[in-house]
Structure 1
């Protein structure tokens, strides 16, 4: 610029045009930023929706309990033990098969004892530890049978470890591979019962009880425990008891454990008094006898002397 030149300033119109252009640029930048923000929000919503859908699907699938083969020797959803502490042998049930109900002795000569128990249930532990000896003697002598139904009713009461379900699976594994050891394994689980709302025994500790019970095919039982092979079956068996009815009784459905039946009659007495339970057995047997129709006495036929 020479000394004779005069600096030209933008006119008012030019300044307004520049301001409008700057405002347009800002608006364009803001719109682009808003589009990016909306895209991010939409993506986040999609991710959240997919995550929620996945969780719902898992919950639904978990609640359905897909059918699986049941253990051998537990066709009734329980294991029946008789004279000499020998278990009744039955084939493994198909995934969709209904339980095969055992028929008790209608004459009452052999007392039928049926228990529905949870290995974490403290009241079940009280009953089992109080009455195991006398039940065992009655069964061993042939005076009674005992049918044990392990059910994972308290699976959510063990600090997230599902101890009841794991113990039930282990019991089913023993029933499958060495049913004659079931009675002793059942006793070991209650003799070493953890407290409710604790983590319970680890699988390794459960396996130690399998050894202590004298189970013969330990390796197969150990692998069965590791595989959680009968988890689905145990949960389906629980569902069946909660839906009901309870076979060979007037009990409509399971409402708590232990459920103890003697010749179909529910025992509701003391869980820690063996004499009271013994008296209940005697009465239940007497009631069964009294309901039986007496055998007709043959009428002598007169004979001719000649």
Structure 2
């Protein structure tokens, strides 16, 4: 093989490698939006559909008007008016998941408002879906910190702050010192709050419980919303008015 041919072959190999690297990078970035190999966002059509959903987002009820919130022993959190047991809206979410942040920005107020109005019993399931770094560790830190919140009155504000401060999926985020500070901003005054967060007391519990929930509830992506045990399509979950109508219909 002549020198020119060898150089051409080398250039082709380099070009092929670069193309492969670009594909890997796209796959890596896409993987941050998936769980167990399934895309979580499910077609937000070039951003236009999501933008429309955000435009129709409801005004969230004031903190004092939110339904009573109970932190359960298994890490789930229930938001419901006394005596309201149905319909049940289960929200499976990961604080590091960009699609979950998108849901929070579009339908988060509707979810909380439905509980506030006594139209639904809402159960939040903060789980860790990521297996790659740094997203896995970011998720675990946030999820473990949320398990340190023992008073329901403070949980919604901390929950919302975590999504507001969600880091990029390509960097290390949710620093422990920030998690402590955000909890204090949310009104948490428990003497063991800082130690619980900084020691990551519930990190392993977060991972173990997440694996159990994903397996038992057959969670294939986040966010996942289930209404009376049945998965809601993303075209309903991400559109506030459609979500409201679905819940109201389930309550009849």
Please indicate, yes or no, whether the TM-score normalized by the shorter chain is above 0.5. Answer: yes
Q: 226, 229, 232: which is aligned to 2:198?
A: 226
Aligned partner of residue 254 in structure 1, secondary structure: coil
Q: 139, 143, 146: which is aligned to 1:164?
A: 139
Equivalent runs, 1:6-85 vs 2, <5 Å: 73-83=71-81
Number of paired residues?
181
- TM-score with structure 1 length normalisation? 0.54
Aligned to 2:10: none
Equivalent runs, 1:87-236 vs 2, <5 Å: 105=85, 110-154=86-130, 156-158=132-134, 162-174=137-149, 176=150, 178-217=151-190, 219-236=191-208
Q: Which has the higher contact order (CA 8 A, sep 6+)?
A: 2
Listed as ranges, the gaps of 5+ residues in structure 1 are: 1-71, 85-103, 247-252, 287-306
Aligned to 1:268: 233
Taking the aligned partners of 1:196 and 1:152, their CA distance within structure 2 comes to 13
Taking the aligned partners of 1:268 and 1:128, their CA distance within structure 2 comes to 16
Runs of 4+ in 1 over 3 A off after TM superposition: none
What do you get for the CA RMSD once the two structures are aligned? 2.2
Listed as ranges, the gaps of 5+ residues in structure 2 are: 1-69
Larger displacement relative to structure 2 (137-146 or 114-123):
137-146
Say whether 1:277 aligns with 2:249. Answer: no
